[in-house]
Amino acid sequence: MTLLAVERIKLFSTRSPYWCSALALVLGVGLTAIIAASTDNGQLSLGVTQFGSSQLALSVVLVMAALAVTTEYRFSTIRATFLAVPNRTSALVAKTVVVAFIAGVLGEIIAFGSVGMAKLLSPASDLAINTSGEWRHVAGVGLLYGIGAIIAIAVGILVRQTAGAVAILLVWNMLLEGLIGIIPKAGVKIQAWLPFMNANHFLQLGGDNAAEQAGAGIDFKLSQWGSLGYFAGIAVALLVVALIVAKRRDA
């Protein structure tokens, strides 16, 4: 518990998490606002409210989480941390828990904020969250952020530099997984096992705009919750590797 408090103090005593959170909020909710404003009143569906939160804003949250580690390496406060807490694994796990939790809360705020924004701009549309699928589609964003943050922290620990970690995360999440689909035949099969594709699969909402949603056209072998478990499994595996590396190498 002490270590969680330590990481909380560290995180909230610098500005970058506030800026990143604000940016994620503006991008996530803002994109929904643009979509809502350009759709006829009454025609908006719940399935399009999370475009911003699950794509753009997610990227910002990944960057925020990676920064939480890479700035520590950048300014060598990681050494100060390891002096205070020589058990590196506990120190880094505490940081992961705090950052993932904050990312998760932020995800819920952005997801429900987006729905709220859509309701405000398109009051005649049916945006009620009733079915379990609809709940998963909206509330699931927080889970996505939390797990995404674990991946970002693992990458941050392994790479140690902000530029490198951010580049890897953005290219991976925004470009690479989508581009693999270009490979004839095999591409789509591979995509069914890529972590962020599975994350999007988890969020998918059947119905009218299923074809517009990320991950459409991929034949996933896992159930939607199975996909989330797979995404989480990869995140944890990556973190374990990062923790082992951090423990072994010189700080």
Binding site for other proteins (CB under 8 A): 2-3, 5-6, 9-10, 13-16, 71-72, 75-77, 79-87, 248-251
Cβ nearer to other proteins, comparing 81 with 125: 81
CB of 19: closest distance to other proteins in angstroms?
11
CB of 88 to other proteins, least distance (A): 9
50 or 70: CB nearest other proteins? 70
Q: Minimum distance from CB of 89 to other proteins (Å)?
A: 11
Contacts of 130 (CB under 8 A, 6+ apart): none
**Are residues 68 and 18 in contact, defined by beta-carbon separation less than 8 angstroms?**
no
Q: Shortest distance, CB of residue 251 to other proteins, whole angstroms? A: 4
Tokens representing residue 156 in the block: 């941050």
d(CA 90, CA 116): 39
Pair 227, 208: CB distance under 8 Å: no
Backbone φ, ψ for residue 237 (5° rounding): -60, -45
CA angle (57, 59, 64) in 5-degree steps = 95
Question: DSSP class of residue 213?
Answer: S
Identify which of 53, 152, 141 has the alpha carbon closest to the alpha carbon of residue 95: 152
Q: For residues 36 and 69, which CB has a smaller minimum distance to other proteins in the complex?
A: 69
**Residue placing its CB nearer to other proteins in the complex, 15 or 185:** 15
Which lies closer to other proteins via its Cβ, residue 94 or residue 239? 94
User: CB of residue 21 vs other proteins: minimum separation in angstroms?
Assistant: 16
